Structure 1
Amino acid sequence: MTPAARLQAAIEMLDWIIAAARDNGASADNIAKKFFKERRYAGSGDRRAIRELVYSAIRRWGDRPESGRQAMLGLVDEQPELREFFSGAHYGPAVISADEPVASGPQVPSWLTDRFAGPIDENERKALFDRAPLHIRINGQRAADGDVEAAWPEAVGLALPHAYELPAGTQLEDKALFREGTVEIQDLGSQAIAMAGAAAKPALTLDLCAGAGGKTLALAAMLPAESKLIAADTDRNRLSRIEPRKRRASARNIETILLGPGKEMESLDHLKGRCDLVLVDAPCSGTGTWRRNPELRWRMTPKRLEHTTELQQRLFALGSALVKPGGRLIYAVCSLLDAEGGDQTDRFLESHTGWREISIDLPIGRPYRKGLLLSPHHDGTDGFYFTCLEKL
C-alpha cells in the first residue's frame, strides 16, 4: 500500500471506531482485527503503519471527533508530513478544503479535567497516554523467581513479590511457564489489589465482579490451597474465560457463579454474612487504563458516568452484605476520578455503620481518601483507587 492509501485506511478505521464509541460498540482493538481481516491485501508493514496512525489520533483527541477524516486533519499541524497525502492520488484521501472541520482540543476531555483524584500535571498526563508496559505475575506456589529469569533473561523485577516487567512485544506463548499457567499477564496495580486482599488469609473469598478472573487467579496463587474462592459476574462470556485459565493454573479451589443483572443477590443469598473477603472490582470509566484503551475517553459522557457511579454504589452495598463480622471488603476501580473512588468510599461509610478502614501496607501507591491511589507516572501501573474496610 502507498503511504496515501495507508492514511485513507486509517481514516476509514477511525470512522468505525468513532461510531462504536458513540454507540457503545466493539473496542478499538477488536475493530482493528475485523478491519484487517476484511483487507487481507494489507501486509504486516501496512497494518503496523495504519495502526500507528489510528492510535496517534485516538491518543491525541480527548473529545470524540465527528469523523476519522476530522481526527486525522487535526494531526496535520503536528505531523506536517501528512499534508502531502491529502491529494486524492494513490488511493489516498481527498484534497483538504479550506473550511473543513478539524479536530482540536486537549488530550483529557475538558469536562473531566477537574474530576481527577489530585491534579493531572504534565508528567502524569504524559504517562496516561504512554504505551503500557508488559507486566507478568508468576505463581510462587508453582515456580521460583529464578525460573522466570531463566526463561526471560531480560525480565526486570518489580516492587511486589513475583512481579516482573518484560520488554514490549515479548512472546510468552512459546514458553512452558506461560502455557502451563505458572505465568499470567497482569498489570502491577491489579497484583497489588490481590495482595491487599490476600493479606488476612481469607478462607472464603468472593470476587463479585470477576470478569475473566485475573484477580481471582492472583488471589488463588497467594492463598493456601484449602482456601475457597468464588468468581461471580453477570457477563457469561467473560466469566467463561476463567475455566481454561484456572485449569492451566491448576487452581482447583475456584468456583464460578453467573449472576443475573440487577438480581445478583438471588444467586448470592447463601453467602450473606459468610465471606472473609469480598472484592468489588467495580465497572468504571476506565480512566486509569487510557494508555491501553485510549478510545474510552470517546465513550464516556456525564450521563454515562452518572449511571456508572450509581451501579458502583449498588455493588459496594451488595458486597458489604456478604461479609461476615471481622471480614474485609475491598472496593476497587481502575479509575482516577474522585466520583468513582474516594467519593464512593465516603458515601458508603456515611450510610453504613459498623465498618472501619484498614491500612494497606504496600510498597507502591499513595494513601488517598481512606484508600490507596496508584497511577502510571507515580507507580508505573495502570491507574487504580482501592480501599480496604473491615466489618466490626
Structure 2
Amino acid sequence: MTPAARVQTSIELLDAIAEAARHQGAPADRILADWFRANRFAGSKDRRAIRELVYAAIRACGPLPESGRAAMLRLAETDPAIRPLFDGSQYGPAPIQPGEVVAEGGVAPAWVVERLVSAGIDDVEAKVLLDRAPLDLRVNTLKAERASLVLPVDAEPTQAPNGLRIAAGTQVEPWPAYREGLVEIQDTGSQLACLAVGAQPGETIVDLCAGGGGKTLALVAAMDNLGVLIACDTERARLSKLGPRAERAGATNVDTRLLDPGREMEALGEFEGRADAVLVDAPCSGTGTWRRNPEARWRLTPDMLDRLIETQALILDNAVRLLRPGGRLIYVVCSLLDGEGPDQFDALLARHPQLSSQPLALPAGRERAKGIRLTPHHDSTDGFFIARAGLAC
C-alpha cells in the first residue's frame, strides 16, 4: 500500500470506530482486527502503519469527531508528514479543500474535562492520559520468582513486588514463560490494587467483579493456593476466560460463580457473613485506562456515568453482606473521577456505619480523601482509586 492509501484506509476505519462509539458498538481494536482479517493484501508493515495512524488520530481528537476524515485532518495539524498525503491519488484521500471540518482537539469532551479538573487532574496530568501505555508483567509466585526469572527481553522491576516492565508492543504470548504460566500481563496499578487486599493463605476471599480473572490470579498467588477464592461476574463470556488462565497459572483454589444481575446474592448466599475480604473492582468509566482505550472517551455520557455510579453502590452493598465481623472490603475503580472514587467510598461509609476506613500503605500513589489515587503521570500506572474499609467485630 502507498502511504496515501494507508491514510485513506485509516480514515475509513475511523469512520467505523466513530460510528461504533456513537452506538456502543465494537471497540476499536476489534474493528481493526476484523478489517485486517478480511483484507489480507495489507502486509505487516501496512497493518502496523494503519494501526498507528488510527490510534494517533483518536488521541488527537477530544470529543467524538464528525467523521474519520475530520479526525485525520486534526492529526495532520500536528503531524506535517500527513497533510501532503491528501493527494487525490487512486487509493488516497481527496485533496484538502478550504473550510473543511477539522475535528476538535483536547483531552476529552468538555463535560468530562470539567469533572477531571474538579477531581484535581490538572492539564499536565490529563495530557498523559493519552500517551501510549507501557507493558507490565506480573511474575506468578506460584511458579517463579522475580529475582531469578529469565525472560527473552530486558525487563525492569516496577513498584509492585512482583512487577516487571518491558517495551510496549512486545509479543509476550509466544514466550515459554507465558505459556507455562510464569508471567501474566497486568498493569502495575492493577497489581498494587491486589496488594491492597492483603490476601493471606487460608482466607476466604470474594472477587466480586472478577472479569477475566487478572486480579483473581494475583490474589491466588498471594494466598499460595491455600484457602478459597470465589471469582464472580455477571458476564459468562468474561468469566469463561478464567478457567484456562487459572490452569496455566497453577491456581487450584478458585471457585467461579456466574451472577444474575439484580439477584447476585442468590448465587452467594452460602458466603454471606463469611468472607475475610471482598474485592470490588467495580465497573466504571475507565478514565484511568484511556492510554489503552482512547476511544472510550467518545463513548462516555453523563447518563452512562450516573448508571455506573448507581451500579457501583449496589455492588458495594452486596459486598458488605458477604463480610464476616472484622473482615475487610477493598474498593477499586480504574477511574479518576471523584464521583466514582472518593465520593462513592464516602457514600458507602455513610450507608454502613459499621464500616470504618482503613489506611493503606502502597509503594506508589497519593492520598485522595480516604483512599489512594494512582495516575499515569505521577505513578506511571493506569489511573486508579483504591480504598479499604473494615467491618466492626
Task: Give the structure-2-normalised TM-score.
Answer: 0.96
Q: Return the letter of the residue paired with 1:44.
A: S
SS of 1:177's partner is helix
Q: What residue number does 2:64 align with?
A: 64
Residues 275 and 323, structure 1, Cα contact 8 Å, conserved in 2:
yes
**1:203-252 alpha-carbon deviations (Å, 9 max, x no partner):** 10111110000000000001133210010001100000000000011111
Structure 1 window deviating more from structure 2 (177-186 vs 98-107): it is 98-107
**1:19-61 alpha-carbon deviations (Å, 9 max, x no partner):** 1111111111111100111211111111111111111111111
Q: What residue number does 2:125 align with?
A: 124
Q: What residue number does 1:26 align with?
A: 26
Q: Return the letter of the residue paired with 1:43.
A: G
Aligned equivalents of 1:163 and 1:318: distance in 2? 31
Residues 4 and 86, structure 2, Cα contact 8 Å, conserved in 1:
yes
**1:312-352 alpha-carbon deviations (Å, 9 max, x no partner):** 11111111111111001111100000011001011111111
Unmatched tracts of structure 1, length 5 or more: none
Aligned equivalents of 1:53 and 1:163: distance in 2? 31
Aligned equivalents of 1:301 and 1:127: distance in 2? 22
SS of 2:390's partner is strand
Residues 200 and 222, structure 2, Cα contact 8 Å, conserved in 1:
no
Structure 1 window deviating more from structure 2 (196-205 vs 3-12): it is 196-205
Q: What residue number does 2:139 align with?
A: 138
Structure 1 pair 183–243 and aligned structure 2 pair: CA distance change class (3 A): same
Aligned equivalents of 2:173 and 2:212: distance in 1? 19
Structure 1 pair 225–87 and aligned structure 2 pair: CA distance change class (3 A): closer
**1:127-165 alpha-carbon deviations (Å, 9 max, x no partner):** 2111111111112232122332x2246111112212111
Q: What residue number does 1:331 align with?
A: 331
Superposed displacement of residue 201, structure 1: 5.4
SS of 2:138's partner is strand
Q: Return the letter of the residue paired with 1:211.
A: G
Structure 1 pair 143–81 and aligned structure 2 pair: CA distance change class (3 A): closer
Answer yes or no: is 1:275 the counterpart of 2:275.
yes
Residues 74 and 105, structure 2, Cα contact 8 Å, conserved in 1:
no
SS of 1:81's partner is coil
Runs of 4 or more off by more than 6 Å in structure 1?
none
Answer yes or no: is 1:381 the counterpart of 2:381.
yes
Answer yes or no: is 1:162 the counterpart of 2:159.
no
Q: Return the letter of the residue paired with 1:228.
A: V
For these two proteins, the number of residue pairs brought into alignment is 391
SS of 2:99's partner is coil
Superposed displacement of residue 199, structure 1: 4.8
Aligned equivalents of 1:244 and 1:346: distance in 2? 37
Structure 1 window deviating more from structure 2 (119-128 vs 286-295): it is 119-128
Structure 1 pair 352–183 and aligned structure 2 pair: CA distance change class (3 A): same
How do 1:9-20 and structure 2 match up within 5 A? 9-20=9-20
Structure 1 window deviating more from structure 2 (229-238 vs 160-169): it is 160-169
SS of 1:372's partner is strand
Aligned equivalents of 2:90 and 2:55: distance in 1? 23
Aligned equivalents of 1:99 and 1:147: distance in 2? 60
**1:341-373 alpha-carbon deviations (Å, 9 max, x no partner):** 001011111111111111111111111111110
Q: Return the letter of the residue paired with 2:139.
A: I
Structure 1 window deviating more from structure 2 (355-364 vs 134-143): it is 134-143
Q: What residue number does 2:370 align with?
A: 370
Superposed displacement of residue 121, structure 1: 3.1
Answer yes or no: is 1:348 the counterpart of 2:364.
no
How do 1:228-307 and structure 2 match up within 5 A? 228-307=228-307
SS of 2:310's partner is helix
Aligned-residue RMSD, C-alpha: 1.5
SS of 2:75's partner is coil
Structure 1 window deviating more from structure 2 (46-55 vs 138-147): it is 138-147
Q: Return the letter of the residue paired with 2:295.
A: E
Residues 198 and 223, structure 1, Cα contact 8 Å, conserved in 2:
no
Q: Return the letter of the residue paired with 1:372.
A: I
Answer yes or no: is 1:205 the counterpart of 2:189.
no
Answer yes or no: is 1:80 the counterpart of 2:80.
yes
Structure 1 window deviating more from structure 2 (74-83 vs 303-312): it is 74-83
Residues 2 and 90, structure 1, Cα contact 8 Å, conserved in 2:
no
